[in-house]
């Protein structure tokens, strides 16, 4: 019997990698070289919907700037934006 893939135990980063691979492979992805079970985009997205949001690059930079300004005590000075 082929092994099953428990998406709940995978990290969010692994799920995002599997999602990219599934998109490249036409809607499904098998992480095993010997065939094995495949994961559909819908299954991956359903599991990702249960996870907290991961900020993208622009969101991370904005949060970093806010933390830096707050550390300097100048969070509300628009001249430093």
- CA-to-CA separations, 5 to 1, 10, 23, 50, 81, in angstroms, rounded: 13, 9, 18, 17, 46
| Domain boundaries along the sequence of the chain | 7-74
Q: How far apart are CA 48 and CA 67, in angstroms?
A: 28
User: What is the maximal distance between C-alpha atoms in the chain?
Assistant: 64
List the pLDDT tens digit at each of the 81 positions of the chain: 456 788 999 999 899 999 999 999 888 888 877 777 888 899 999 999 999 988 889 999 999 998 888 877 655 656 655
Residue from 55, 58, 52 nearest 12 by CA: 52
- The residue among 61, 40, 52 whose CA lies nearest residue 11 is 52
pLDDT for 1 equals 42
């Amino acid at each position: 019997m082929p092994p099953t893939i428990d998406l709940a135990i995978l990290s969010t980063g692994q799920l995002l990698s599997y999602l990219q691979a599934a998109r490249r492979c036409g809607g499904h992805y098998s992480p095993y070289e010997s065939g094995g079970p495949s994961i559909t985009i819908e299954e991956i997205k359903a599991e990702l919907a249960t996870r907290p949001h991961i900020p993208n690059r622009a969101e991370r930079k904005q949060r970093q700037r806010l933390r830096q300004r707050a550390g300097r005590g100048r969070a509300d000075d628009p001249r430093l934006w």
